[in-house]
Amino acid sequence: MKIISVKDLKIYYNTSRGVVKAVDGVSFDIEREETLGIVGESGCGKSTLAMGLLDILPPSAKVSGEIILEGEDILRKDDEELRKIRHEKIALIFQDPMTRLDPLMRIKDHFLETFHSHRPELSEEEALKLSGDLLEAVGVSRETLNYYPHELSGGMRQRTMIALALIFNPLLLVADEPTTSLDVIVEAQILQLMNNIKKEFHMSIILITHNLGIVAEMADRVAVMYAGKIVEIGPLEDIFISPVHPYTQGLLGSVITLESKNLVMMPGEPPDLINPPTGCRFAPRCPYALDICNKDEPPLEEIKKGHSVACFRAKELAEEKNYYLRGEASERAD
């Protein structure tokens, strides 16, 4: 059962230099209790996509396309209706909780503010009891309600943010770099917590991260973004074991493991999204680029059930060995 269906979503920013095409024609679906990992380099549009799903973008953003939630397009909702959807249907965990929690408010005030906005009929006593229950559910004591954000460790702040996101048992939890700046032990605890709440609350998760190891642990499917577009999407096993798009191959090839002998890198850099190249946006960096790649934009097409790739040579590359894992990219860069 589909929880949310995103169709041809475009999010453009008007700037003094021109229009930034941060998200440019993105489409995907998410099933109930599924985790979709979204990966890509910095600036590829991941965080803009996350904020677009909740319509919490700055005034300079122009949004088009469809975000179908429970059969209704939330982009067509007014502000009051959208306010109810946030938290109640879709919740967001931000990258750095220290910058999102008000330093002048105790933790209990953050919870009370949310309850009063969505459930004004609840008394303060009832709201605080529910808040304490949620904190305990994520492994934090009830006494934390009386603390200020700066009195908590990074892991406790992140758990508190997760508890705030779970207040109304949303259908979809969007986690934007949920383990940024956490040490590996606390990171593992947060990931385990997210897996547990996914099962307990029967929710779906969008996990946005640079860390491919986290995606390998958490995700059921993976979407790879490059320059505002999804270039490959499919089951975790397909993406990690048999990546097809040259960019996906490059990302996976650059991961250092115990078996790594050379530092593998992709030559070049991501394009300027104010003036992206015509055709395939990865073509200037691609070792497989053809003339058509510099002229026409490749559609995102299914090469096998559930696995889609935006590349004119997708079927051919599906049969080839990984260019980057062979080390040829390093030799070319040298």
pLDDT tens track, the chain, 334 positions:
789 999 999 999 999 999 999 999 999 999 999 999 999 988 899 999 999 999 899 999 999 999 999 889 999 998 888 888 988 899 999 877 788 899 999 999 999 999 999 999 999 999 999 999 999 999 999 999 999 999 999 889 989 999 999 999 999 999 998 887 778 888 888 888 899 989 888 999 999 998 888 899 999 999 999 999 999 999 999 999 999 999 999 998 888 777 777 777 888 899 999 999 999 999 999 999 999 999 999 999 999 999 999 999 998 988 875 555 444 544 443 3
In this structure, how many other beta carbons lie within 10 angstroms of the beta carbon of residue 240?
A: 17
CATH for 2-219, among 3.90.1260.10, 3.40.50.300, 3.40.50.1370, 3.40.190.10?
A: 3.40.50.300
pLDDT, position 263: 73
Annotated domain spans of the chain: 2-219, 241-333
Distance CA 48, CA 43 (A): 9
Sign of the torsion angle spanned by Cα atoms 110, 111, 113, 118: positive
Distance CA 150, CA 98 (A): 8
pLDDT tens, 19-36? 999 999 999 999 999 999
pLDDT, position 329: 47
